[in-house]
């Protein structure tokens, strides 16, 4: 019997059967289980529990505080691993400045402490302990020099010690921390009351959607008209994810993974609409961009289909802008090397190819000063997600 | 075993020289952390901190080091690196330049040893002598 694949997003459910994919707008008055049962109850009745595979990105996201010894190694490596594990919100502290660093007011899901290659000792001292006493956190993991592990374990309750992420050659060793953080992310999603109920539909593990998309990336150029290096932009209701080939970054990180992921927590077109509009209004190109689209800034306040389309075009522009060299706060991608842009998520159901092309043309001309565009591929039928789900079916779950 | 962080600073891709320095240092019994070519000054300092190195040996062959190394004093002050020996060598100026001008300039940036157009082995001999005198 064929499989039933379901993606629970913050705004839409996507339901994939053998021959068709349908999507349903969420009813926020109901919990996810009730809403899914109401909309797809008849579909579920046709499948056995072991043939149903679910992934979810709804309400997902962990907050992370990374305390590291240097920007170029500890913090860079840990940040990179965290993004690739599905962590959304990341704050960093340089250890040499810990005494003057602000203490986060909110509860941190996981604190990562990192610094030094194995063989050196005395990297961390009282300063770390004093700072941590002021921080509220749920989990804490140490991935620095092994020589400091005992000292820290004896002073920090429930400290999880994993292998050093910095190798003896100053390369990144991501496996253990990535698995740990992926598990936390999974547990966070699965542990949510809304998601727990979904196990009544499936006997398989529920995965996080970014994990599923990430699994499909090595297969994309073989399955689509996509040439490496490429980026996959997944614009959703609450967040926007960008998955990119590592060929587009020059950060001297040697990693086993060919693809990295970056999440823009506040660039969604539905739940995070207000922050998206705020980011747009503060962008130096936005008025020129709105004029180019033949609209005025009033459109940003409207509730219409046209407004939604403009908002989606803006989100494409902003996400490219944020990873361009004009915005060094985020990872800088060498977009001039980019061969293909793949757009997936709800956006492909709303925008036409011409609308996407118009905005990417504007970006490349205005921001990049280039006249040739990368190939644009629209993943109209969630084929990337389907590919990731199918590719994942036969894998033993590593997590939980 | 003394630890050395080395590499080529700035937009300089003289990889052969970098490799020769790596091999020569290892042959002399140093533990080498080679950051390779195209390395920024901040990465050098950060590598020294992460490895607790004794020596930072920066090489430059295209003469651009002057522009890349001016912040050394500032970056040194960010961490406690007073026991680290800072060395730079290679071709340290663009065009004609006198050694008597170059050496004081780089020393004012914070380098302990400066080798302008000096043979690699001669430079490393001086470095070893300098290190033994520090003991």
Specify whether A229 is located in the same domain as A374: yes
pTM: 0.69
- The tally of CA atoms less than 13 A away on the side-chain side of residue A147 is 12
Residue written as token pair 């620095």: A144
Q: Which two tokens stand for residue B24?
A: 């020569």
pLDDT digits (tens, 9 = 90+) for B21-38: 999 999 999 999 999 998
User: Per-residue confidence at A121, pLDDT binned at 50, 70, 90?
Assistant: very high
Instruction: Return the H-helix or E-strand segment holding A152.
Output: helix A149-155
Specify whether A285 is located in the same domain as A364: yes
The closest of A235, A248, A253 to A312, measured between CA atoms, is A235
Mean pLDDT across A286-305: 86
Specify whether A74 is located in the same domain as A116: yes
Q: Is the pLDDT of residue A395 over 60?
A: no
**Chain A neighbors of B43, CB-CB under 8 A:** 72, 252
What percent of chain A stands above pLDDT 90?
26
Q: Looking at the domain assignment, is residue A387 inside a domain?
A: no
pLDDT digits (tens, 9 = 90+) for A140-178: 999 999 999 999 999 999 999 999 999 999 999 988 999
Whole-angstrom Cα distance, residue A93 to residue A68? 6
Residue among A74, A96, A252 minimizing CB distance to B50:
A74
Q: What is the pLDDT of residue A183?
A: 83
ipTM: 0.91
B32 touches chain A (CB under 8 A): no
Could you give the domains of chain B?
A: 3-134 (3.40.50.280)
A55 touches chain B (CB under 8 A): no
Number of domains in chain A: 3
CATH of the domain at A48: 3.30.420.40
pLDDT digits (tens, 9 = 90+) for A194-233: 777 888 888 888 877 777 777 787 777 777 777 778 888 8
Rg (CA), chain B: 13
Whole-angstrom Cα distance, residue A350 to residue A308? 8
**Chain A neighbors of B74, CB-CB under 8 A:** none
User: Per-residue confidence at A51, pLDDT binned at 50, 70, 90?
Assistant: confident
The DSSP line for B58-117 is EEESSSTHHHHSTTHHHHHHHS--TT-EEEEEE--SSSS--HHHHHHHHHHHT-SEEEES
**Chain A neighbors of B53, CB-CB under 8 A:** none
Kindly report the average pLDDT of chain A as a whole number: 83
Q: What is the pLDDT of residue A256?
A: 59
CATH of the domain at A269: 3.30.420
A68 touches chain B (CB under 8 A): no
Q: How close is the nearest chain A Cα to the Cα of B50, in Å?
A: 4
Dihedral (CA of A168, A170, A171, A175) sign: positive
Cβ–Cβ of B50/A71 closer than 8 Å? no
Contacts with A68 (C-beta within 8 Å, 6 or more apart), sequence order: A74, A75, A78, A92, A93, A94, A95, A112, A113, A114, A115
């Amino acid at each position: 019997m064929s499989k039933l694949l379901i993606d629970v997003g913050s705004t839409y459910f996507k339901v994939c059967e053998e021959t068709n994919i349908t999507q349903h707008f969420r009813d926020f008055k109901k919990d996810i289980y009730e809403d899914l049962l109401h909309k797809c109850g008849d579909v579920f009745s046709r499948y056995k529990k072991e043939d149903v595979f679910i992934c979810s990105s709804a309400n997902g996201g962990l907050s992370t505080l990374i305390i590291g010894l240097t920007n170029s190694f500890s913090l860079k490596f840990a940040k990179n691993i965290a993004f690739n594990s599905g962590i959304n919100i990341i704050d960093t502290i340089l250890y040499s400045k810990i005494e003057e660093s602000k203490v986060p007011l909110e509860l941190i899901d996981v604190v990562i402490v990192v610094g030094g290659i194995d063989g050196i000792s005395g990297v961390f001292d009282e300063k770390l302990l004093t700072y941590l006493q002021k921080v509220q956190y749920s989990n804490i993991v140490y991935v620095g020099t092994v020589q400091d592990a005992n000292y820290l374990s004896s002073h920090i309750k429930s400290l999880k010690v994993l292998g050093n992420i910095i190798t003896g050659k100053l390369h990144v060793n991501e496996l253990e921390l990535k698995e740990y953080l992926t598990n936390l992310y999974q547990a966070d999603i699965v542990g949510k009351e809304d998601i727990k109920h979904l196990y009544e539909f499936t006997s398989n593990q529920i995965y996080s959607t970014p994990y599923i998309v990430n699994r499909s990336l090595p297969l994309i150029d073989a399955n689509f008209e996509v040439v490496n290096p490429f980026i996959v932009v997944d614009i959703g209701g609450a967040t926007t994810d960008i998955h990119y080939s590592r060929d587009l970054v020059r950060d001297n990180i040697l990693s086993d993974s060919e693809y990295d992921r970056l999440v823009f927590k506040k660039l969604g077109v539905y739940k995070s609409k207000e922050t998206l509009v705020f980011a747009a209004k503060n962008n130096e190109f936005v008025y020129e961009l709105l004029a180019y689209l033949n609209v005025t800034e009033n459109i940003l306040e409207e509730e219409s289909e046209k407004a939604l389309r403009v908002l989606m075009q803006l989100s494409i522009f902003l996400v490219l802008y944020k990873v361009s060299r004009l915005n060094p706060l985020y990872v800088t991608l060498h977009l001039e090397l980019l061969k293909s842009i793949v757009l997936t998520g709800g956006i492909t159901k709303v925008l036409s190819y011409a609308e996407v092309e118009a905005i990417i043309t504007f970006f490349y001309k205005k921001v990049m000063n280039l006249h040739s565009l990368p190939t644009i591929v629209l993943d109209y039928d969630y084929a990337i997600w389907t590919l990731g789900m199918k590719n994942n079916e036969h894998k033993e779950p590593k997590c939980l | 075993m003394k630890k050395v962080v080395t590499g080529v600073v700035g937009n300089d891709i003289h990889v052969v020289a970098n490799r020769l320095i790596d091999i020569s240092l290892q042959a002399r019994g140093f533990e080498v952390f080679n950051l390779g070519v195209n390395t920024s000054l901040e990465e050098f300092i950060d590598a020294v901190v992460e490895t607790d190195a004794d020596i930072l040996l920066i090489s430059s062959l295209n003469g651009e080091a002057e522009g890349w190394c001016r912040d050394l004093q500032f970056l040194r002050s960010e961490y406690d690196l007073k026991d680290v020996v800072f060395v730079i060598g290679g071709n340290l100026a663009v065009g004609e330049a006198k050694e008597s001008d170059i050496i004081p300039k780089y020393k004012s940036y914070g380098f302990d040893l400066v080798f302008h157009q000096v043979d690699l082995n001669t430079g490393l001999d001086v470095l070893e002598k300098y290190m033994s005198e520090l003991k």
